């Protein structure tokens, strides 16, 4: 494989957006939002206008622009305008707790914030204390509404401007040829990608312009094969690097079309988006895949039409483990292949994946060309030692040209994760003789039960293989000072009636324990089973075990059966 090479003078706004204009795609739809379509020409015009506005307000290269928006076209305009200006993209979830967003404002030291009135009002004190050059307010919208409508926000003490006014002002500067963007280098910082914060406050990975282009070339184009005629839709929201890639950068890189919806992702809202846009590529997560199957079965049980996903040529899955039984159920029902893979904020995106015509259920596929992987003993502090034998479990190290420069304000963590061109992922994997990789959980997630290590993922996948289980999450729970396995289980709809009475719940819990005992070592079965309607999720859509563990520590979780 030829390694992608990018020129010294390089900017992602050109790579993803303005190069499409030189290819003659100005009139091709780039973004779909409800009944509205925005062409590449429309997107470029609004991007340029917003960049000129940023520059006119004194927003300089390398300064952070914090975008806290739902999945609307305005997100794309802010994203590309920031890059074009040579500034640095930082992204936040408008539905996150306000304390988390206040942390982002302070941590990023953003000089510009682009958000909605509700968030601006909640962050008024933090924004007033920040050194803001501009606070751009966008109308909060549902799918199909006009994102350019006036969004009132009363704050005389802040440099506030509505998005519509910012674009008008920017067009004036554009016509007068004022505030043109300054050139950027391929190794200039372009985007801060945040860790999930599973072990504390999120930290920003500092990524250069070429990091994103490299992964786009080797993963999006060469491995899974994005095409110009694709239409994409995503369950994860655009502020999350997984979706920023799959539902904005990757389709734009090939001249495809990204379909957006601002509502919270649910089986209902996703089904509406798929019906409306008829996408060919859907970015998914295992939790939603399970819910879609249950939703589809419930619809048919009520005599309604089944979900129609016939337009989809492939689904993407990442972010959490995809149990083999769930994958098989999903592909059998909906037909299209699912390309499960693993990536990280440290590497920007996916570096190990299943791919067209090469899906091995239960595995995360093979290494993406352009990356190098090693499976090393858990105690290895550097990547130079011997790898574990084929079939044994160890910690994955990855090398590739999309690696982060390190974590902002965390030198110690950076030194422990990045060693030269290598990144220690902290993920446990085993490699088979054919080069396929199997995820075994996080090295810091293992439980020591009866003196023996237990990988929660292994128990979760075993439970998910039971025909009545939709999804499971496993944590450790103490009893008389000893650590035990505790499972939180969401049942499929047809099984929930079995747990309505205490006797039925106890019988089903015992059945699930025996299911695990029959398939795994006896010490791995869950001593406690808790039936729940749903599992907590973090803002990336992953099952939030951190919350489950915190509740367990406070004694807020049910003891279980």
Domain shared by 464 and 352, yes or no:
no
Domain shared by 258 and 404, yes or no:
yes
Domain shared by 58 and 147, yes or no:
yes
Please tell me what DSSP assigns to residue 307.
P
Q: How big is the chain by its Cα radius of gyration, in Å?
A: 24
Residue 208: count of CB within 10 angstroms of its CB: 25
Q: In the prediction, which pLDDT does 143 show? A: 66
Q: How far is CA 8 from the centre of its chain?
A: 29
Overall number of domains in the chain: 3
Domain shared by 421 and 454, yes or no:
no
DSSP 324-364: HHHHHHHHHHH-SEEEEEEE-GGGSSEEEE-BTTB--TTS-
Cβ density class 320-359: b for 16+ within 10 Å, e for less: bbbbbbbbebbbeebebbbbbbbbbbbbbbbbbbbbeeeb
CA distance 166 to 169: 5
Domain shared by 253 and 281, yes or no:
yes
Q: In three state form, how does the secondary structure of 468-532 look? A: CEEEEEEEEEEECCEEEEEEEEEECHHHHHHHCCHHHHHHHHHHHHHHHHCCCCHHHCCCEEEEC
Query: Is residue 447 classed as helix, strand or coil in its secondary structure?
Result: strand
Q: What element of type H or E holds 294?
A: helix 286-301
The answer as to whether 194 is a domain residue is no
Cβ density class 387-402: b for 16+ within 10 Å, e for less: bbeeeebbbbbbbbbb
CB 428 within 8 A of CB 443: yes
Given 391, 421, 442, which residue is the final one in a domain? 442
The answer as to whether 4 is a domain residue is no
Domain shared by 269 and 301, yes or no:
yes
CB 296 within 8 A of CB 268: no
267-277 vs 286-301: helix axis angle to the nearest 10?
Answer: 90
The answer as to whether 262 is a domain residue is yes
Query: Is residue 154 classed as helix, strand or coil in its secondary structure?
Result: coil
Read off the tokens for 225: 């094969």
Low-confidence stretches of the chain (pLDDT beneath 70): 1, 143-144, 197-200
The answer as to whether 191 is a domain residue is no
Backbone angles phi and psi of 356, in degrees to 5: -55, 125
User: Degrees (nearest 5) of the Cα angle 253, 254, 260?
Assistant: 75
Domain shared by 344 and 468, yes or no:
no
CA dihedral 60, 66, 70, 74 (to 10 degrees): -10
CB 459 within 8 A of CB 384: no
Domain shared by 332 and 427, yes or no:
yes
Beta strand 437-442 pairing with 418-419: unpaired
Domain shared by 245 and 276, yes or no:
yes
The answer as to whether 325 is a domain residue is yes
The closest of 318, 342, 442, 457 to 398, measured between CA atoms, is: 342
Domain shared by 142 and 227, yes or no:
no
What is the domain extent for residue 486? 446-554
Task: Report pTM.
Answer: 0.88
Given 392, 426, 442, which residue is the final one in a domain? 442
Cβ density class 302-313: b for 16+ within 10 Å, e for less: eeeeebebebbb
Domain shared by 432 and 478, yes or no:
no
Residue 17: count of CB within 10 angstroms of its CB: 24
Q: In the prediction, which pLDDT does 493 show? A: 83
Read off the tokens for 350: 């996916």
Cβ density class 30-42: b for 16+ within 10 Å, e for less: bbbbbebebbbeb
Domain shared by 502 and 424, yes or no:
no
CB 360 within 8 A of CB 436: yes
CA dihedral 330, 331, 334, 340 (to 10 degrees): 80
The answer as to whether 429 is a domain residue is yes
Residue 412: count of CB within 10 angstroms of its CB: 8
β-partners of residue 543 are 537
Helices (H) and strands (E) in the chain, counts: 18, 26
CA atoms within 13 A on the CB side of 388: 19
Beta strand 337-343 pairing with 29-33: unpaired
C-alpha distances in Å from residue 195, one per residue of 140, 209, 319: 26, 19, 12
Q: In the prediction, which pLDDT does 151 show? A: 75
CA distance 526 to 514: 10
Q: In the prediction, which pLDDT does 443 show? A: 82
Domain of 488, CATH number, reads 3.30.300.30
Query: Is residue 376 classed as helix, strand or coil in its secondary structure?
Result: strand
Given 420, 442, 464, which residue is the final one in a domain? 442
The answer as to whether 418 is a domain residue is yes
Residue 270: count of CB within 10 angstroms of its CB: 22
Domain of 428, CATH number, reads 3.40.50.12780
The closest of 67, 63, 13 to 40, measured between CA atoms, is: 13
The answer as to whether 79 is a domain residue is yes
Q: In the prediction, which pLDDT does 189 show? A: 98
β-partners of residue 55 are none
DSSP 166-214: HHHHHHHHHHTT-SPPPP-BTTSEEEEEE---TTSS--EEEEEHHHHHH
């Amino acid at each position: 494989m030829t390694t992608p090479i990018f020129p010294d003078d390089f900017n992602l706004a050109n790579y993803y957006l303005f190069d499409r204009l030189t290819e003659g795609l100005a009139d091709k739809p780039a973004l779909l939002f409800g009944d509205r379509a925005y062409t590449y020409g429309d997107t470029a015009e609004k991007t340029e206008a917003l960049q000129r506005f940023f520059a006119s307000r004194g927003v300089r290269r390398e300064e952070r622009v914090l975008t806290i928006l739902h999945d609307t076209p305005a997100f794309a305009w802010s994203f590309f305008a920031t890059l074009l200006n040579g500034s640095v993209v930082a992204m936040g979830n408008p539905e996150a707790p306000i304390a988390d967003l206040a942390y982002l404002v302070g941590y990023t030291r953003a000089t510009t914030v682009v958000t909605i009135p509700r968030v601006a009002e909640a962050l008024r004190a933090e924004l007033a204390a920040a050194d803001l050059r501009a606070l751009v307010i966008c109308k909060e919208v549902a799918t199909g509404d006009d994102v350019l409508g006036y969004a009132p926000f009363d704050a005389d003490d802040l440099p506030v401007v509505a998005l519509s006014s910012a674009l008008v002002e920017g067009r004036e500067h554009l016509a007068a040829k004022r505030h043109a963007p300054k050139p950027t280098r391929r190794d200039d910082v372009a985007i801060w990608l945040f860790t999930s914060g599973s072990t504390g406050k999120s930290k920003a990975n500092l990524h250069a312009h070429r990091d994103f282009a490299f992964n786009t070339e080797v993963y999006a184009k060469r491995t899974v094969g994005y095409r110009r005629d694709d239409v994409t839709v995503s369950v994860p929201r655009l502020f999350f690097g997984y979706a920023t890639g799959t539902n904005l950068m990757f389709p734009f890189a090939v001249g495809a079309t990204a379909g957006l919806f601002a509502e919270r992702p649910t089986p209902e809202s996703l089904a509406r988006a798929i019906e409306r846009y008829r996408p060919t590529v859907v970015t998914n997560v295992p939790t939603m895949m399970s819910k879609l199957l249950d939703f589809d079965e419930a619809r048919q049980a009520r005599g309604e039409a089944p979900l129609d996903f016939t337009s989809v040529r492939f689904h993407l899955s990442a972010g959490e483990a995809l149990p083999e039984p769930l994958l098989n159920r999903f592909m059998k029902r909906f037909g299209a292949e699912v390309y499960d893979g693993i990536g990280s904020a440290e590497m920007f995106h996916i570096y190990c994946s299943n791919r067209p015509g090469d899906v091995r259920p239960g595995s995360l596929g093979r290494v993406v060309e352009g990356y190098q992987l090693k499976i090393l003993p858990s105690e290895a502090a550097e990547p130079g030692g011997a790898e574990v034998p084929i079939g044994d479990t160890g910690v994955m190290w990855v090398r590739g040209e999309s690696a982060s420069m390190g974590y902002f304000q965390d030198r110690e963590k950076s030194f422990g994760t990045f060693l030269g061109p290598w990144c220690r992922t902290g993920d446990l994997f085993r490699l088979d003789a054919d080069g396929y990789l199997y995820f075994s959980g996080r090295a810091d997630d293992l439980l020591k039960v009866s003196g023996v290590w237990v990988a929660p993922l292994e128990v979760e996948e075993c439970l998910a293989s039971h025909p009545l289980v939709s999804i499971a999450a496993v944590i450790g729970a103490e009893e008389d000072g000893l650590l035990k396995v505790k499972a939180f289980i969401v049942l499929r709809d047809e099984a929930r009636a079995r747990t309505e009475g205490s006797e039925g719940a106890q019988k089903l819990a015992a059945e699930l324990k025996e299911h695990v005992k029959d398939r795994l070592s006896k010490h791995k079965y869950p001593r406690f089973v808790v039936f729940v309607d749903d599992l907590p999720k973090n803002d990336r859509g992953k099952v939030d075990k951190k919350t489950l563990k915190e509740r367990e520590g406070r004694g807020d979780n049910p003891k279980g059966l």
